[in-house]
Amino acid sequence: MKTQAESNGIVTLTGEGEKLVKDSPLYNEGLRPTTRAEHSWTAYNFASLWVGMSICLPTYAMAAGLISLGMNWWQAIITIILGNVIVLIPILLNSHAGTKFGIPYPVFARLWFGSKGAHIPAVARGLIGAGWFGINCWFGGAAIDTLLMSMTGWEHVPGHLWIAFFAFWLLNAWIAYRGPETIKKMEAWAAPILIIMSLALLVWALTKAGGWGPMLSAPSKFTSSGEFLKVFFPALTGAIAFWATMALNIPDFCRYAKSQKAQIIGQSSSLPTTMGGFSFIGVAVASATVVIYGEAIWDPAAVLAKFSPFAIFLGTIGIILATLTTNVAANIVAPARAVENLAPRKLTYEHGAIIASVVSLLMQPWYILENFGNYIFLWLGTYGALLGPIDGIAIADYWLVRKRRIHLTELYKTNGIYSYKTGYNTRALWAMAIGIVIPFVCKYVPALSIIWDNAWTVGLLISLAIYTWMMRNDSTIMSVKDYEKVTARGGESKAS
């Protein structure tokens, strides 16, 4: 029986396929495969998504923070661009699965971890997304607090920073609750505005510092290659880890792609360029603060406080836009889907968005942002070591083990082939554990510390190799003949 149809590289359920799984406890409206009509996102939609997500305060803070750690402007930019080119590879590899089969990340994870085991990578990604959600809300709340202090007697209100933070957190939570289509519409019009405001900030820095020369003349503080590399490798891992979260749950967005070409062009043209460009603005402004104020200021709210009230007002509008477009797209969809996947028949995306927003407070973003060391070494470095192995398993399973052949209806059956024997794929658990433990142990062995400094990359490669070897003869792998038995060619799916 043909349970799925493939047309122009996109696979959807047939009417017969939907009947088989629509009553399954693993199936609901948010987790089902998309219909052909829902594959509507163009290259522009993906480009605007990444512009909106990349132009954000954490990007600025990361770039400016590398200056405060001792890099000069071009060392910082090269580090960030290189990190984003590297992470673009797993993003595009995992995007292919979301585009071809129209499945969200938690369902994709069932393929490699099992119907129950999928909760492990989904919740891991969700917790990190919730942490980022809180970090962005803290940045935005601090900017609003700065604005109010510049215009009124707001600084005399007890707990004024916390009030601004919680108000902005509520705004973010409300927009996130509205769902992915609201995100798509918001990104489309916000992206051009953010580009203009970013360029305006660069012009200010250029003018105030007296030109490119004084602004970018600050030398590197490192006196040897060894000193530089001690900071470069963990900083590179931080730059990679910055979007390692999206490398996992990018199927949540690419399941709506019009074609593989649309998502590849849209993402490849926008991620490295926007991150590089906005990082340059962060680096330039931080370098300018050295010239203007005698110190590198990496906190954008602290820079904003130096401006006139009107400039602070415009800057705050830009910060609110930048935070919203990043937060609701990059940081809430994955946690919301992870929560929804815990009980598909009882929980919805909306429930997940609310729960994830609350969890973001438990992650204590104010502590993570207490100093830059916490931000890039503790936060980015640690979760990069966790997500790298999961990225490796996802890529290995789809590209090397299954060779892009998936039986869609089996992903929604509690006793399907992707449930394995107990609901858990123990091979994935072992590959993940080994990929995490080896870099973590090396953290405490001085001679091997470089492995920890590159934990995301090392963990990804270790888990990818181990998982591929362990799964080489697994019974869940579909042959070309098996795939053709359930897949109608050139046909349309059920009515959309």
Do the domain assignments include residue 494? Answer: no
* Average pLDDT value for residue range 305-319: 77
pLDDT above 80 for 255: yes
489 backbone dihedrals φ, ψ, rounded to 5°: -100, 135
Do the domain assignments include residue 306? Answer: yes
Do the domain assignments include residue 191? Answer: yes
- Give the DSSP letter of residue 404: T
- The pLDDT of residue 340 is 82
- At residue 496 the predicted structure's pLDDT band, cuts being 50, 70 and 90, is very low
Do the domain assignments include residue 495? Answer: no
88 exposed, middle or buried (CB, 10 Å; 0-12, 13-18, 19+)?
A: buried
Q: How far apart are CA 51 and CA 326, in angstroms?
A: 9
pLDDT tens profile 410-446: 999 999 999 998 999 999 999 999 999 999 999 899 8
Do the domain assignments include residue 496? Answer: no
Do the domain assignments include residue 303? Answer: yes
CB 391 within 8 A of CB 247: yes
Q: Which domain holds residue 136?
A: 4-489
What total number of domains does the chain contain? 1
Computed over every residue of the chain, the mean pLDDT equals: 86
| Helix extents (H) in 8-104 | 15-21, 43-54, 57-68, 73-101
Do the domain assignments include residue 382? Answer: yes
* Average pLDDT value for residue range 116-145: 86
- At residue 20 the predicted structure's pLDDT band, cuts being 50, 70 and 90, is very high
Per the document, the length of the chain is 496
Do the domain assignments include residue 27? Answer: yes
Q: How far apart are CA 112 and CA 396, in angstroms?
A: 9
pLDDT above 50 for 494: no
pLDDT above 60 for 491: no
Largest CA distance in the chain: 73
| Helix extents (H) in 243-259 | 244-249, 251-254
pLDDT above 80 for 286: no
CATH code of the domain containing 205: 1.10.4160.10
% of residues, the chain, pLDDT over 70: 92
- Read off the pTM: 0.84
